[in-house]
Structure 1
Amino acid sequence: MKGFYLYAAVSAMLTIFLAYHFLWITLIVVLSYAVFLYLRCPRYVFILCVLVGIFFFGLFHLFLFHHQTSISSNQTIFTGQISSIPNIDGSQVRFFFSTQGEEVSVVYYMKSESEVKQVQSLMIYDRCMLKGKLSSFEERRNPNAFNYKGYMDTKHVHWKLKASTFTPSLCHPPKQLSFPQRLSIYRQHGIDYLQKNVPQPASSFMQALIYGERSQIDSDLLQLYQSFGLIHLLAISGLHVGLMTFMFFYVLIRMGMTRQLATNILLVTLPLYAIIAGGAPSVIRAVLMSMLALASTKYQKKISLTDSIALAFLLMIAVNPFYILQVGFQLSFVVTLFIVLSAQVILKRITSTMGQLLLVSFIAQLGSLPLLLFYFYEVSLLSVPLNMIYVPLFSTVILPLCLFIFTMSFFFLPIAGIGQWILNNVLLLSEWFLQLIHNLSPVFVVTTGKLSLWVVGLLYIAIYSVLWSIEKKKYTSFFSIVTVLILVVQCLFPYVNPYGKVTMIDVGQGDSLLIELPYRRGVYLIDTGGSVLFSSEGWQVRRDLFDVGKDIVMPVLKSKGIRKLNKLLITHGDYDHGGSASTLLDQVKIEQVVLGKKKQLTDLEINIIEQARKANSQISYVKKGDYWKQGDTSFYILSPTGTETTSNNSSIVLFTELGGISWLFTGDLEEAGEAEILRTMPSIQADVLKVAHHGSKSSTSPSFLRALNPQIALISAGQKNRYGHPHKEVVERLQEANVFIYRTDENGAITYTFRKNKGTFYTELP
């Protein structure tokens, strides 16, 4: 099989995908690959690849069968051991807990600062007792959102536990620990040591680059690195493992050891380092490839890099076939494979270090491009030049400094302190530079929207063809043009798409509705959702606060390829309607911010106006009687008049016709506001009613409902919200009027897709 292991790896990959998604398209791809193997490879290779495919198809189903939960959903008391390092974030602590032969994801909210100190003393593998309520992980609730349930399934975790009773002082270490468990405890001690003794940001970067622990890095900074394609530098991968292997091999040789002994020591210590570094897929892949390279040198059995990566792939998915469904695993192997395949021919033609660095960065970006666009919907054109700057910076300055500081902190603290000062300033300077580029270069970010699997496949074929033509010295621009053309078509498709959409985004307890007109003639967002931030004591403040705009609305917009909003309407100044406006103004171009005319603006509305001015967005104030027209579609403002005395009744009320039906969007309008609309427009009717105030009892009066005579009601409310929305009486009132109800708390996001005068409703959750 020498030289053919890559074919076996692809066989395993395709059959696992077939087992996971048994679709006609997947089956056709598998059969096409089998025909390719039959025509291209020797018969023994074809037979072995078929056997490998059958083996992994069966193995996936075997894992699926043996990783079903045995825990009852009604269970409330749990005994077991902590199986991950507790992640403390303000008053919240999260960890995995092993009980009854499986793991559950635990979250616990601490009630006092003294309890925080108790939790900080917890160690991985401590045995504890917990009380709380189990719940299952949810499917995605919004279009193209991250499927957290699917992700946890790949880790064989079926339950999340919200602990109500947890006494850390009663936890105790196990009587016996295996050697790998002792290494994990050593890892936790090392992370705690850095957290307590090294100042930020050096501490968080040292944790990431030495122990593979990124939780302490600021979430906005992580987002910044990700947006420029630099996030791989903050994960332990081939670059780090290769550099550290070379450094230790060099040290061992300089100490007088033979190459054979140094190789043996590294073969033993590399698996131990994988445990200390957190055991992420990229770490395991890099360690396995390094061990295969060392073993081939030791036994003088040369192994090619492609065979090395294929064998590492097969070994990892043989241990856990669900690895293949994880984004980090996919990116790690795809990028490495592209570099390995190119290194054998293309890189040999480039002699200068700078040229090789440029080419490696370019090939890595090409290899990761389809997957990045599939999962994250956008890419920065500055990724390659920034990688040329930051890869050498991390490999020659930041990583060596981290290792130097860590070593010196045990022997000579003054020198370690100098190193910390240097590292902090280097990190602050690099962060300042990235932020500067980010502020100056939004035009360099290409947002394509979510790619279909067909487009991902076509892109990889085109990119492979580009590199193949260069390798064969056929410097044709045809395949390059095809690659660019695929991306251009993806970006321009919305502008030739005759379908429009109305989407009620599930933002929890709040409102956010997205209107996309056909041919992208207009994109309007009515409200942004948001939440009120309450004052907290220092020990309660969290590093990574959930933000509706950043974590829900922006991913929805990006996944649809939306790079600009023509209008952002803030119906009124409550945080659950406009609290995320500032986040959106920072991250997406908004041509016009629309507010209702009123006697006095709220503090939130004043802040939105200030932010809009900084973003060079036009500010418009509307009142009853105003309207705008886009193509054949008109939008009419029915409220406010500007004389309302309450915030809810000063909501912007919008009427329009889309897809052959009429729509009324009501904000948080209450009964008095409804009566005013009926007084001036007694014959008003609407096919679709966006139920006001999340289905509150103070809205959707019987007289208003009778006059409108809607066929469909849309209610935006959070799951099990503390307000009891939608109110039982409102739901019953709608049902008695034979109105079909869609609710975000039960259905997730609700979308109406239309073309001309026909359309269809569908929900994200069945």
Structure 2
Amino acid sequence: MRLWCLSAALAAACWLGLLWPLLVLVVVAVLGWRRGRRWLVWLPLLWCYGVVQLNSGVSARLPASLEGETLVMQGKVVGLPATVNEFRFGRWRYRQTLTLDVWGATRWPGMHRIRVNAYELPVQVKADQRLALMVKLKAPRGVYNATGVDAARRDLAAGIDARGTVQSWTVQGGDKGLDRWRQWLSDLVAERVSVSPAGRAILPALVVGDRSRLSSELWQQFQITGGAHLLAISGLHIAIVAGWFWWLGRWLLGPMMQRLFPVLTVFTLQQLAWGPALLAALGYAALAGFSLPTVRAVIMLAVVAVAQCARVSVPLWKSLGVALLMVLLLFPLSALSESLWLSFGAVAAIAMLVTSHGARWLLVLLPVMMAMLGAILFQQWSISAPLANLFLIPLYTCIVVPLALLGSLLQQGWILQGAATGTELSVWLMASLASSTSGWRLPLPTATSGLFAMLALALLLMPALPFPRRLLPILLLPWLCQRAAPLSEGDWELVAFDVGQGLALAVRTREHLLIYDSGPSWPGDSMARRIILPWLARQGLTPDRIIISHGDNDHAGGMKVLAGMAPVSSGEPQRVPGSEACRAGQQWGWDGVTFTLLWPGPEVVPGNESSCVLQVSGAGSSLLIPGDIGKQSEYRLLGSLPRADLLVVAHHGSSSSTSAALLRQVQPAYALVSAGYRNRFRHPHPQVLQRLGNAGVTVLRTDRDGMIVFRWGAADNVPLITTWRQFRERPWHRPAAWRFW
């Protein structure tokens, strides 16, 4: 219990970064010291340590004054570069994603770790190479929504201080280090199984942690079916290898060594077996480049090994607590990483299952608990996840991983082909399960409702409870009863998703939902899959109608993900498959709210000017969404445009839209701009912001505010506005500073 309390204090300090709890912990430590509980004095010390580490990590990031500037620096490639041939902006091009340790920038002193993209380089960068660079950087930020990845937190946990693009580079040399050998082995494995698409992509990830050959579609397939943890070398893989070598040491190497060296008979075979097990675990961690998950797993194994070799009976929970505290002391900011809690959650689940139900139930109940934990941490949820893991975990544990490592070390193609056959089987199995369960939907749990569900599972696994087990389903009610906030008749709510340089909106009435635009996409993925689908699953909503303003990628890119969920209308039906044409005059009503299409007419030419212009009118409030129309279309609409309380600024704030005449006609009190942070078009344009300011309009921006929820219908007819970067602000979303409260 002490170890878990100390770990909780350190982890909480890294998450909160506040000083006021320190006063409470000092009081607790003083009271505990008087009562003989002197270990409590470590609580305020660990809290201080966590706050200092958090502020150090945040202060190491690129200063805002250097964002967008070209910096000259020295660097060394860390890990394995990922090379992709992708189709972007109408042509194929090569892109390399590099992680670099950089130094020598006069305006940004010190050693920093950055992640950059390099496009169409004449020669591909190799692992361990030293480079002279010119890079354009920006601080880790990403989009920020109620669902989806918090990129700023993830980069802070990984030690990434900036992201950007390589402008030019010169190779200055290269060391023949571990990463160069890992890259050679990855290329060798991929070549030996080149006839197997799944094996060529998956086996290098299992052997050396190289996931650069994984297509976005294949990675999504593993994520949706809950098998993504199998592709990242982590505690499960280290445990597999250590377990195989432990049994090898116990039944073969140990007896052999005792015969050759009789002095070793003072040790039991179980103790001797830990030697090859730890060496194998350390070797596999080296193959993975000593990534943080593998280092964590080795530390956990070392704690158990030391306890057994010292013949000290240490309960599994205590060993797990020691390992967690050691990991947090060595890597405190890993407390912000989902993988840390997934790893320790998996071990804790295994411990509970083994002690309560025995190993025979492990493969049945473990996938259920891991599916729920993955839904909380990664916001990926599928009814097929427990079923897939029921087959995938034994398949990869007993066949794929052992054969992949054995074939790689012996360089035997026929062994690698056996492992590749296992990967092909797993891909087929996931596709079959995903297609057979695609119609089944469960609400995606929030952090709170998910914790209640996990508590119900944990209590179910306990051998004895002070109350009947039939009461446990009560803990599932917060999850199963998740609903969006209720709206009254005639009220509406607008949700503007932060999708970068693009547009994605949701307009909700009491019983209905409209999706307007789906945000951008890129090869293999889209903002709709990352943000909109999890939001729908968490709210328990299904759209009743979808409008795609026009066919440009930043508005229609995610339409493939939403296809089939509801009828689709578009201003460019020829560019949006399966859609009907928007036409001025179309109108419908939901729950006392009227939706009217004002544009386009039949004579409009394709492109931005064909965008669907939508008016939403409720009880005493209205909304206007003009898509990407320009000033010429605005002028033609002036006579028919009604007044609107909220205006979604056209074309992301381009100077070609949002004329002064439009503002005089519409007279909005609020304007919403959906644009990407420091986008290359420099939207919203200063002229547009000046026009909005001169008109006395309050401007909301997704690039600064994150996701925006605008709800009309509050008391005194004042809107409720929630901007995510203020409402859910975290320490890594702002500059480093010591904050008491």
**Contact map agreement 1:569 1:593 (CA 8 A) in 2:** yes
**Contact map agreement 1:132 1:161 (CA 8 A) in 2:** yes
1:538 counterpart residue number: none
How many Å separate the matches in 1 of 2:55 and 2:10? 17
How many Å separate the matches in 2 of 1:504 and 1:280? 37
Q: How far off its partner does 1:449 sit?
A: 5.3
1:89 to 84, 90, 95: 84
How many Å separate the matches in 1 of 2:191 and 2:636? 62
How many Å separate the matches in 2 of 1:759 and 1:381? 38
1:625 counterpart residue number: 585
Alignment of 1:658-737 (within 5 A): 658=618, 660-679=620-639, 681=640, 684-737=642-695
Residue 332 of structure 2 is aligned to residue 337 of structure 1: no
**Contact map agreement 2:29 2:41 (CA 8 A) in 1:** no
CA offset digits 1:184-228 (Å, max 9, x no partner): 544333223323443242233222222233333222222222222
Q: Residue type matched to 2:713 in 1?
A: R
2:708 to 750, 754, 758: 750
1:257 counterpart residue number: 257
How many Å separate the matches in 1 of 2:320 and 2:311? 18
How many Å separate the matches in 2 of 1:17 and 1:143? 21
Query: Against the structure 1 CA distance between its residues 108 and 448, is the aligned structure 2 distance closer, same or farther, given a 3 Å change threshold?
Result: closer
Q: How far off its partner does 1:166 sit?
A: 0.7
2:297 counterpart residue number: 286
SS at match of 2:719: strand
How many Å separate the matches in 1 of 2:23 and 2:508? 35
2:461 counterpart residue number: 467
Q: How far off its partner does 1:556 sit?
A: 4.4
Q: Residue type matched to 1:136 in 2?
A: A
CA offset digits 1:490-545 (Å, max 9, x no partner): 2x354689985312223333322211224xx11111112336x7xxxxxxxxxx65
Aligned residues: 688
Larger mean CA deviation between 459-468 and 298-307 belongs to 459-468
1:123 to 118, 124, 127: 127
How many Å separate the matches in 1 of 2:485 and 2:427? 35
Q: How far off its partner does 1:657 sit?
A: 2.5
How many Å separate the matches in 2 of 1:570 and 1:724? 24
SS at match of 1:472: coil
How many Å separate the matches in 1 of 2:323 and 2:488? 43
TM-score (norm 1): 0.81
SS at match of 2:720: strand
Alignment of 1:103-182 (within 5 A): 103-112=112-121, 114-116=122-124, 119=125, 122-124=126-128, 126-138=129-141, 140-168=143-171, 170-173=172-175, 182=177
**Contact map agreement 1:129 1:171 (CA 8 A) in 2:** no
**Contact map agreement 1:463 1:483 (CA 8 A) in 2:** no
Q: How far off its partner does 1:639 sit?
A: 2.1
CA offset digits 1:87-146 (Å, max 9, x no partner): 22332222332234532314242435x423xx2xx232x332212223211164333442
**Contact map agreement 1:522 1:630 (CA 8 A) in 2:** yes
Q: Residue type matched to 2:552 in 1?
A: D
How many Å separate the matches in 2 of 1:658 and 1:29? 49
2:517 to 524, 527, 545: 527
CA offset digits 1:51-108 (Å, max 9, x no partner): 3423321221343455442977367221243233222233222233223453231424
SS at match of 2:493: strand
Q: How far off its partner does 1:662 sit?
A: 1.6
1:502 counterpart residue number: 494
**Contact map agreement 1:69 1:102 (CA 8 A) in 2:** no
Q: How far off its partner does 1:727 sit?
A: 4.0
Alignment of 1:275-424 (within 5 A): 275-347=286-358, 353=360, 355-362=361-368, 364-365=369-370, 369=372, 371-409=373-411, 416-424=412-420
Q: How far off its partner does 1:164 sit?
A: 1.0
1:17 counterpart residue number: 12
Unaligned 5+ residue runs, structure 2?
86-93, 104-109, 259-268, 727-741
**Contact map agreement 2:140 2:160 (CA 8 A) in 1:** no
1:486 counterpart residue number: 478
CA offset digits 1:670-694 (Å, max 9, x no partner): 3343333334x37x32222222233
Q: Residue type matched to 1:165 in 2?
A: S
2:555 to 558, 577, 580: 577
SS at match of 1:214: coil
How many Å separate the matches in 1 of 2:471 and 2:132? 60
How many Å separate the matches in 1 of 2:458 and 2:29? 20
SS at match of 1:301: coil
Unaligned 5+ residue runs, structure 1?
1-5, 175-181, 410-415, 534-543, 610-618
**Contact map agreement 1:510 1:718 (CA 8 A) in 2:** yes
2:47 counterpart residue number: 57
Q: What root-mean-square deviation, in Å, do the aligned CA atoms of Structure 1 and Structure 2 show?
A: 3.5
CA offset digits 1:136-176 (Å, max 9, x no partner): 111643334422122222233322242211123x33328xx
Residue 231 of structure 2 is aligned to residue 234 of structure 1: yes
CA offset digits 1:438-457 (Å, max 9, x no partner): 122123342335334xx455
How many Å separate the matches in 1 of 2:236 and 2:688? 60
How many Å separate the matches in 2 of 1:137 and 1:327? 17
Query: Against the structure 1 CA distance between its residues 69 and 509, is the aligned structure 2 distance closer, same or farther, given a 3 Å change threshold?
Result: closer
Query: Against the structure 1 CA distance between its residues 752 and 436, is the aligned structure 2 distance closer, same or farther, given a 3 Å change threshold?
Result: same
Identity of aligned residues (%): 24
Q: How far off its partner does 1:380 sit?
A: 2.6
Q: How far off its partner does 1:326 sit?
A: 0.8
Larger mean CA deviation between 459-468 and 431-440 belongs to 459-468
How many Å separate the matches in 1 of 2:241 and 2:38? 40
Alignment of 1:192-207 (within 5 A): 192-199=187-194, 200-207=197-204
TM-score (norm 2): 0.83
Q: How far off its partner does 1:628 sit?
A: 0.9
Q: Residue type matched to 1:151 in 2?
A: R
Higher relative contact order (CA 8 A, sep 6+): 2
Residue 38 of structure 2 is aligned to residue 47 of structure 1: yes
How many Å separate the matches in 1 of 2:471 and 2:5? 23
How many Å separate the matches in 2 of 1:264 and 1:737? 75
Q: How far off its partner does 1:329 sit?
A: 0.3
**Contact map agreement 1:81 1:128 (CA 8 A) in 2:** yes
Q: How far off its partner does 1:484 sit?
A: 2.2
How many Å separate the matches in 2 of 1:139 and 1:602? 31
Q: Residue type matched to 2:569 in 1?
A: V
Query: Against the structure 1 CA distance between its residues 402 and 333, is the aligned structure 2 distance closer, same or farther, given a 3 Å change threshold?
Result: same
How many Å separate the matches in 2 of 1:133 and 1:444? 45
How many Å separate the matches in 2 of 1:69 and 1:549? 32
2:720 counterpart residue number: 760
Q: How far off its partner does 1:562 sit?
A: 4.7
Residue 106 of structure 2 is aligned to residue 98 of structure 1: no
Query: Against the structure 1 CA distance between its residues 359 and 20, is the aligned structure 2 distance closer, same or farther, given a 3 Å change threshold?
Result: closer
SS at match of 2:356: coil
Q: How far off its partner does 1:387 sit?
A: 2.0
1:568 to 546, 554, 558: 546
How many Å separate the matches in 2 of 1:421 and 1:273? 21
